[in-house]
Structure 1
């Protein structure tokens, strides 16, 4: 009987939490709220001062690109990646789990060269996607082929996640800390369409270290 009561209480808590999450999501759908949210977000970004343990290369890159005044950094707990997505979103005060994103380095193993100089036909791409989503390598191939108007045969494409050693060499960042800003090499980037449709239009990314996260307005990122 005690275990049954405990189970019922846990279910009630989850149900209430889900109701709260749904109410917050509905609240963020209001245009007025979105405007106020972005204003508040940018004010907090301007006021934020980083401590000495912050990832310098990423902050410097934000400064160089002119987006430091709209970028927010978060120092998270060491077990952050053991948490469920909703808990991570609460920790970052993100509008939803849909706003949590990651940068993944993909390699075209059949590329005829090893260069990243041509963004229309690069050996590597930094693909930015949501944690709630997944990357379809077939769709990725089809998209990249269109960049060259399908001039190249499909036999020259085979995308897979780059191994850790290559990813670190190209980005300068280790797993779960990869940031699209401040990478060692300027790898061409592909942003999934779902991210561009997020409301409010901000997203949360790795910030150069597993214990640091970066958030900034999506339009500001696309602009730079």
Structure 2
């Protein structure tokens, strides 16, 4: 009796496996027989199951309930007829997703390099002539980038006598002043050497002395916080972009580091109004003509 039950169970399992195989084979054959252009709807297994059920009855095999299985017709290759069209340049999804041309160099009112180097050089030459300075304006090739090179490389590029002649103009602002400054020094342009470091405490004393010369009462040390101005804030005051600030034609008090007055050559280099333009000035002449305040402002 037990042996008969085992044989019957084995026969049922074999029947189920055979039924599943026939259903899948019938479904695949039915899908392959349908042309690609006519495969508009998914092919359902129950449609082909009727044919396989009849075949099972002919074999005398029992039928078992199955969960309906849905087979999707295979998608044709992109771009082929009857399938999904390959997206082209005229498709809105592709056309709109393409990035448009970005703003060119100097485009927009906020650009720090809106003027060409030649235009800036012409303006600086006019300023030099107007002030009567013995100065030189030297364009530098942007390749390799000047400010990515060592001080020794820059010295040789400019023909300077030493790296101590290489200077920069920075704008410092007293952030403690609010509203109307009442004649006090809100911003000051400081010329220092690249080999030196600006000392803010010393600069505060210089600013206090400037205000005292204007007849203003002295303020406490806590009323001063000298912060470096950069980017658009610096350009708004000087008209110059990053690495291009020049002391020429500035409506700001100018402080010159006293270490620059000790240069044996008597001259120094700094920005000329454009990142690719350098200015050489004579120390004594610049102090006299541009009314610079010479002071110890470095560490």
Name the TM-score, length of structure 1 as normaliser. Answer: 0.69
Match of residue 231 from structure 2: 164
Match of residue 194 from structure 1: 259
SS of the aligned residue for 1:195 comes to helix
Deviation at 1:82, TM superposition (A): 0.8
Deviation at 1:131, TM superposition (A): 0.6
Contact 2:230/2:242 (CA < 8 Å) preserved in 1? no
Q: In 2 relative to 1, CA 52–147 (structure 1 residues): closer, same or farther, beyond 3 Å?
A: closer
CA deviation map 1:81-121 (0-9, x unaligned): 11100110011110100000000000000125555x95xx3
Question: Does 1 or 2 have the higher relative contact order (CA < 8 Å, sep 6+)?
Answer: 1
Distance between the aligned counterparts of 1:57 and 1:188, measured in 2?
21
Contact 1:113/1:123 (CA < 8 Å) preserved in 2? no
Deviation at 1:134, TM superposition (A): 0.8
Match of residue 217 from structure 1: 282
Contact 2:185/2:211 (CA < 8 Å) preserved in 1? no
Deviation at 1:52, TM superposition (A): 4.3
Match of residue 208 from structure 2: 145
Match of residue 4 from structure 1: none
Match of residue 182 from structure 1: 249
Structure 2 residue 266 is matched with structure 1 residue 205: no
Structure 2 residue 71 is matched with structure 1 residue 71: no
CA deviation map 1:123-180 (0-9, x unaligned): 0000000011111111111222233457111122100101321210111100111110
SS of the aligned residue for 2:273 comes to coil
Segments ≥4 residues shifted beyond 4 Å = 51-54, 112-115
Deviation at 1:216, TM superposition (A): 1.5
Decide which of 206, 229, 240 is 1:173's aligned counterpart: 240
CA deviation map 1:52-86 (0-9, x unaligned): 4552222211111111xx21111112111111001
Q: Which has the higher helix share?
A: 1
Distance between the aligned counterparts of 1:73 and 1:62, measured in 2?
9
Contact 1:112/1:156 (CA < 8 Å) preserved in 2? no
Decide which of 197, 203, 206 is 1:134's aligned counterpart: 197
Contact 1:177/1:210 (CA < 8 Å) preserved in 2? yes
Query: Where does the alignment leave 5 or more consecutive residues of structure 1 unmatched?
Result: 1-50
| C-alpha RMSD of the superposition | 1.9
Aligned length: 167
